[in-house]
Structure 1
Amino acid sequence: MPKVKLTTKTVEHAKPPAPGARLELFDVSMPGFGLRVGDANKSWFVFYRHEGKQKRLTLGHYPALDLGKAREKAATVLEAVEAGIDPAAEKKAAKVQAKAAEAQKEATGYFPGSFGGLADLYFRQECPSLRRGKEVEAIVRREVLPSWKDRALVDLRRRDLVSLLDPITSAGHIQKAHKVREITLRIVNWGVDRGDLEANALASPSRGRKRGGSLQRQSRDRVLTYEELRDIWLACDEISGTFPDMVKVLMLTGQRRDEVSGMQRAELDLDAGVWTIPSDRYKTGIVHVVPLVPAACQIIKRQARVSDKFVFTTVPEAGFTGYSWAKAVLDKKINERRRESGVEDIPRWTLHDLRRTLRTGLSELRIGSDVAERVIGHVIGGVRGVYDRHSYMEEKKDALEKWASVVLDAVKSKVRDAP
């Protein structure tokens, strides 16, 4: 076997001695390292001894792998041999593992050790027992899996999570970004608990440090004025569709957006004016009974029967969705009305602000906190929560009737507050 000083020029011009024959050139500066030259290709190799046996390992092909990179790979192989490792055996095992991984992906749709594989397992094992399991699965499939389906769990870092969330926050969907982050961390932490990986490198190690940037949690304190409630209600009157009526029910009941949008006909007794939200649909996991004032009952009764199950919907199989677009239309109508009256646009508000406004309004009406908290479905803690099993149904009904009177009086008023 000829030994030569391998240079870029030597490699480039090396040719086999005859058609069909092969030439092997060994590098004089690195024992065992060389170049095999054939009719169609040139490949790098390195010879070494492991446990008394001489072995050969192909490093790659020229020109895809140039001389400098080939020498580096050969040096790495020889260092591994010195440490008692057999690189050829490892390469063979890696091929077997890669083949098995491809077979698993063909069977399941996910590579082993991937985020997609862990998420799929989470969907099957954990989501069925979660009240919002279907929502969690939908968020991950829509927001995370398109980018992370085949990403190895051990390779995921905080920078990857930031890159995932940046487009969401840039679009102004801060709460959505919080939700995606929370669910993603929850799934990876679940994998850590199972032993699928050693640690969650997505989570920040600086517990207790206040988060900065656009994802910093900011508690909202927006309480709508009676004038703003009136403008919202009257704007709803000028818009057709399901969403405006849903907003009015939110205003009159103080319940959460998803609870109202998911309202089911089987939960209602409109003759008695009662809406019973089952535990599997309520955030606290406890059955919540909501008295419905006559105005709310009228709104519910006039909904088109698009679905035999859901009240507020545009499709038979699910409750209302499409909040962002619908609220943008409503805000535009509100501001058109306000400008006609020479009033500035309504400051930014959310559907959840209606719930906070109702709770604040009950306090202004001198409704006791025990009753007010029960109206919006908060769990009463401490001894009172354990021992006071009274339903407070009449008290809640009285509170909501007083609140509805305030809202409807505001709607009828033609006087604007002084600027």
Structure 2
Amino acid sequence: MAVSDSKLRALLGKKHSDKYPRRLADRGGLSILHRGSGVLSFEFRYRFAGKQNAVTLGTYTNNDAGIKLAEARRKAEQCQAWLDDGRNPATMLKLAKNERLKPVTVRDALGYWINNYAKENRRNIDRHIMQLEKWVYPRIGELPLADCETRHWLEVFDAYRKTAPVAAGYCFQLCKQALKYCRVRRYATSNALDDLTVVDVGKKQGKRDRILNMDELRDVLRWSGEITTNRYYGNLACLLLAFGARSQEVRLSQLREWDLDACTWTVPTAHSKTSTKIIRPIPDRVKPFIKELMTHAKVNKSIYLLGELKRPEAVSQAGRQIWKRLQHKEPWTWHDLRRSLATHLNEAGVAPHVVELILGHTLPGVMAHYVHTSRLPEQKAALELWQNILNDQEEQNNVVNLRG
């Protein structure tokens, strides 16, 4: 017959003179030992590897100093589950105790994922680390992962969402992946994020379709060369317009990537979103501008074409503000310049696969397996055509064309 709380309360503190503790059987292998001193303790008895074993689960005190009957039964059920899984409850309880004494914190778990997975497999990992250091670690970084509940995580993402809802969604996704990685590798266990989705904590990035018309693109080109324009962002805009590259590729671009003799720009795999090397030809009209940037970078003893390395957040934020300065009717970002180049080149009759190579995309379908060439002459012809499209109208209006 199962033991009741009232019976335990009646026995608590009641002494007896028996040499050995009196045993009261409960259920599921759980027993209560009534010691001569009046102390009551919970014990789980089991057989493992052919031997009889017993582990103490805690002491009954009828207050918060001990454990209650219901908690002892839950622990006994966990011990039985370990047994069913072929694991020794005594060993598992010892491991659990060690984890409580020196628990894995949220910072430890995310750091484990970063060091063992993300640094080799995730792009922009430095940016992700900065997100964690700004939003996650100050709030819950030192909490034991096992004690960090869903509500604690939501407090982090709710604060982040007010500032940057899309970035909050990305941060949530990487945290969720990190916790799963730790769980699969048995480093630490947490299911606090399992039932949440991006829309619960932030906002999904919508599919953009903003295409700048030629007047708007020429506005950007004109702005990039104005004296009052910040030189870093003016030069960045000029390069993005010229090559249709990703802002990351230009931001990280180093002098060694540029070969003015061969007239090529080689984006290394480390800077490529697709983890593939990208080779682009340098249009003749752009070559003097590249040479000027390289000269300035060398004078300033910088390895970067733009003379310095700015944080991606700063670059993105700057790009989101330019449309207002130019009084354009609709917002646009750096990436929209890339989409605009692709659209206008397609409209000008450039073959789609050549545009894809310029953009640094992986070719689709069968071409991905059989076309292993950069087709530089075709790319250069397309980019020279693009320079003519960008500059011809400006030349007619006596406005300075692409710098150089």
Q: TM-score, normalised by structure 1?
A: 0.68
Q: Secondary structure at the match of 1:218?
A: coil
Aligned to 1:114: 105
The answer to whether the aligner puts 1:193 opposite 2:184 as a matched pair is yes
Asked if the contact 1:314–1:320 (Cα under 8 Å) also holds between the matched residues in 2, the reply is no
Is 1:222 aligned with 2:210?
Answer: yes
Contact 2:356/2:363 (CA < 8 Å) preserved in 1?
A: yes
Larger displacement relative to structure 2 (148-157 or 180-189): 148-157
1:375 shift after superposition? 1.0
Where structure 1 has 5 or more consecutive residues not aligned to the other structure, the ranges are: 1-28, 35-48, 58-69, 86-92, 102-111, 336-344
Match of 2:352 in 1: 369
Structure 1's 371 and 99: CA in aligned 2 closer, same or farther, altered over 3 A? closer
SS in structure 2 opposite 1:362? helix
Q: Is residue 2:365 matched to residue 1:382?
A: yes
Say if 1:71 and 1:359 are closer, same or farther in 2 by CA, change over 3 A: same
The equivalent of 1:409 in structure 2 is: 392
Q: CA 1:319–1:180 in 2, change beyond 3 Å: closer, same or farther?
A: closer
| Amino acid across the alignment from 2:326 | I
Partners of 1:329 and 1:384 in 2: CA distance:
38
Provide the secondary structure at the position in 1 that maps to 2:68.
helix
Matched position secondary structure for 2:194: coil
Q: Displacement of 1:170 after TM fit?
A: 2.0
**Alpha-carbon contact 1:251-1:355 (below 8 Å) kept:** yes
CA contact (8 A) 2:265 2:280 kept: yes
SS at match of 1:357: helix
Q: Flag the 1:299–1:164 CA change in 2: closer, same or farther, 3 A.
A: farther
Higher mean C-alpha deviation, range 147-156 or range 325-334: 325-334
Q: CA deviation at 1:155?
A: 4.2
Change (3 A) 1:400 1:319: farther
Residues 77-110 of structure 1: CA deviation (Å, up to 9, x unaligned): 366678998xxxxxxx899748842xxxxxxxxx
CA positional deviation for 1:263: 0.6
Is the CA contact (8 Å cut-off) linking 1:334 and 1:346 kept in structure 2?
Answer: no
Task: Determine the structure 2 residue equivalent to 1:54.
Answer: 37
Once the two structures are TM-superposed, the CA of residue 50 in structure 1 deviates from its matched residue by 2.6
Cα gap change, 1:96/1:220 in structure 2, threshold over 3 Å: closer, same or farther? closer
- Deviation of 1:174 after TM superposition, in Å, equals 3.7
Find the counterpart in structure 1 of residue 194 from structure 2.
203
Contact 1:143–1:180 at 8 Å: present in 2 too?
Answer: no
2:158 to 159, 163, 166: 166
* Pair 1:294-2:284 in alignment: yes
How far the C-alpha of 1:118 sits from its partner, in A, is 1.3
Q: Say if 1:165 and 1:181, in contact at 8 Å, map to a contact too.
A: yes
CA contact (8 A) 2:135 2:160 kept: no
Q: Which of residues 299, 309, 312 is equivalent to 2:306?
A: 312
Residues 388-403 of structure 1 mapped to structure 2, 5 A cutoff = 388-403=371-386
The answer for the alignment partner of 1:236 in structure 2 is 224
Q: How does 1:131-150 map to 2 (within 5 A)?
A: 131-150=123-142
The 1:386–1:227 alpha-carbon spacing in structure 2 relative to 1, beyond 3 Å, is same
> Aligned runs of 1:337-376 on 2, under 5 Å?
345-376=328-359
% identity of equivalent residues: 22
- Alpha carbons of structure 1 residues 156 and 361: separation in structure 2 relative to 1, 3 Å: farther
1:98, 1:379 → 2: CA distance? 46
- CA distance in 1 between counterparts of 2:99 and 2:174 reads 30
Q: 3-state SS of the aligned residue for 2:245?
A: coil
Work out which of the residue numbers 326, 329, 335 in structure 2 matches 1:334: 326
Match of 2:336, SS state, is helix
**Partner Cα separation in structure 1 for residue 112 and residue 75 of structure 2:** 38
Question: Contact 1:262–1:319 at 8 Å: present in 2 too?
Answer: no
* CA positional deviation for 1:51: 5.5
Q: How far 1:368 moved relative to its partner?
A: 1.0
The C-alpha deviation readout for 1:354-398, integer Å capped at 9, x for no partner, is 111111111101111111111101101322211122331111111
Question: What secondary structure does 1:203 align onto?
Answer: coil
Aligned length: 332
Kept after mapping to 1: 8 A contact 2:62/2:68: no
Letter of the 1:351 counterpart: W
Q: Does 1:278 find its partner at 2:268?
A: yes
**Contact 1:370–1:380 (CA under 8 A) maintained in structure 2:** yes
The DSSP-based 3-state class of the residue aligned with 1:302 is helix
Uncovered stretches (5+) of structure 2, i.e. residues with no partner: 1-8, 15-31, 41-60, 77-93, 399-404
Alignment of 1:172-183 (within 5 A): 173-183=164-174
- Aligned mates of 2:71, 2:190 — CA distance in 1: 27
- The answer to whether structure 1 residue 126 and structure 2 residue 117 are counterparts is yes
Give TM-score scaled by structure 2 length.
0.70
Per-residue deviation, residues 126-157 of structure 1 (Å, max 9, x unmatched): 24423544333333333322223123333445
For the 8 Å contact 2:105–2:142, the answer to whether it is kept is yes
CA-to-aligned-CA distance 1:250-270 (integer Å, 9 cap, x gap):
111111111110011011112
State the Cα distance separating 1:411 from its structure 2 match.
4.1
Following superposition, the deviation at residue 278 of structure 1 comes to 1.1
Q: CA deviation at 1:187?
A: 1.1
